Amino acid sequence: MSLAARCCARLLPQALQLRPPSAPCSTISSAKKYINGVHLHYQQTGKGDRGVLLLPGALGSSQTDFGPQLKSLNKERFTVVAWDPRGYGHSIPPQREFPLDFFHTDAKDAVDLMQALDFKKFSLLGWSDGGITALIAASKYPSLVHKLVVWGANAFVTQEDIKLYNAVRDVSRWSENMRKPMVEMYGTEYFAKTWAAWVDGISEFEKGAAGNICQDLVPLIKCPTLIIHGEKDPMVPRYHPDYLHKHIRGSRLHLMAEGKHNLHLRFAKEFNCLVEEFLISSD
């Protein structure tokens, strides 16, 4: 039996007790909150007592990055929020910039948004850049973060990583499936310009910070942490999840043999079941 089948088999009886088959799924609402000088866009769904924030990747948004999670994560157990960081998605203006502290700015925005939405404590699910933001938030605001799930994330960058980023700098060479939602969201010019600025910005960590993004903060994370890694991820080499697993005390590392960078989209059912089981399990 596959992992997805095992997870769903364990969760199904509980889900049936909580939500009768005839009960409709809750709707997905969209709104904005004025946080730290910016109107941040977010989507929210579910009515559970466990708050969960979904943090998107570079140039990502709730709309482009988390459709299967907003649709299918258990809405009786969780209240799910997916946000657009400043300069991304529908949180424009402002235009996005990438100084060396941009991950820290995102982390504070994310935590302040959840507090403004009246969540006393919440879990973080961070993909790629959103995973880095989540790592920083969990380390700096330990009293607020209940559990942490990251995938496609890294605490530092190397010259090898920079080569990978530069190889995809030209967005006109992206596959149609990868490029289309970004062009629809941003338009061709803003997308290309902002992506190139991201590559330049992330490269500055290797040049000006000895590669360190949040290595000093990772050991400070105390909450239960699940690290998921796709073994076929072309953007994040295996040494990154191994580093996180080694330096986050008590963390779990789950490897998906066929997973790539967007494993939560391609293998959404397996991912959602894995995450739900982790979030509802006792500490």
CATH number at residue 62: 3.40.50.1820
Helix (H, G, I), strand (E, B) or coil at 33: strand
Give me the percent of the chain exceeding a pLDDT of 70. Answer: 91
Answer yes or no: 229 catalytic. Answer: no
Q: Is residue 19 part of a domain?
A: no
pLDDT of residue 142: 97
pLDDT of residue 10: 52
Q: Is residue 209 part of a domain?
A: no
Dist. CA 137–CA 164, nearest whole Å: 26
DSSP state letters, 177-243: HHHHHHHHHH-HHHHHHHHHHHHHHHHHHHHHSTTBSSTTTGGG--S-EEEEEETT-SSS-THHHHH
The answer to whether residue 13 scores a pLDDT higher than 60 is: no
Q: Is residue 17 part of a domain?
A: no
Q: Is residue 175 part of a domain?
A: no
Residue 86: which pLDDT band, with cuts at 50, 70 and 90?
very high
Q: What is the mean pLDDT of residues 75-87?
A: 97
Full domain range(s) for residue 101: 26-156+215-280
Q: Is residue 130 part of a domain?
A: yes
Answer yes or no: 200 catalytic. Answer: no
Q: Is residue 191 part of a domain?
A: no
The answer to whether residue 238 scores a pLDDT higher than 70 is: yes
pLDDT of residue 1: 46
Q: What is the mean pLDDT of residues 117-136?
A: 98
Task: Check 123, 128, 139, 251 and give the catalytic one.
Answer: 128
Q: What is the mean pLDDT of residues 217-222?
A: 98
Query: Which residue in 104, 77, 61, 86 sits closest to 17, CA to CA?
Result: 77
Q: Is residue 106 part of a domain?
A: yes
Q: What is the mean pLDDT of residues 94-115?
A: 97
pTM: 0.91
Task: Check 146, 240, 254, 261 and give the catalytic one.
Answer: 261
Q: What is the mean pLDDT of residues 144-149?
A: 98
Helix (H, G, I), strand (E, B) or coil at 174: coil
Give me the percent of the chain exceeding a pLDDT of 90. Answer: 87
Number of separate domains in the chain: 1
Q: Is the pLDDT higher at 144 or at 17?
A: 144
Task: Check 41, 233, 254, 264 and give the catalytic one.
Answer: 233
pLDDT of residue 16: 35
The Cα-based distances of 239 to 72, 229, 266 in angstroms read: 31, 10, 23
Q: What is the mean pLDDT of residues 202-213?
A: 91
The answer to whether residue 17 scores a pLDDT higher than 90 is: no
Q: Tell me the pLDDT tens digit for each residue of 53-75.
A: 999 999 999 999 999 999 999 99
Q: Tell me the pLDDT tens digit for each residue of 160-191.
A: 999 999 999 999 999 998 899 999 999 999 99
Q: Is residue 68 part of a domain?
A: yes
DSSP state letters, 59-71: T--HHHH-HHHHH
Answer yes or no: 261 catalytic. Answer: yes
The answer to whether residue 20 scores a pLDDT higher than 80 is: no
pLDDT of residue 69: 97
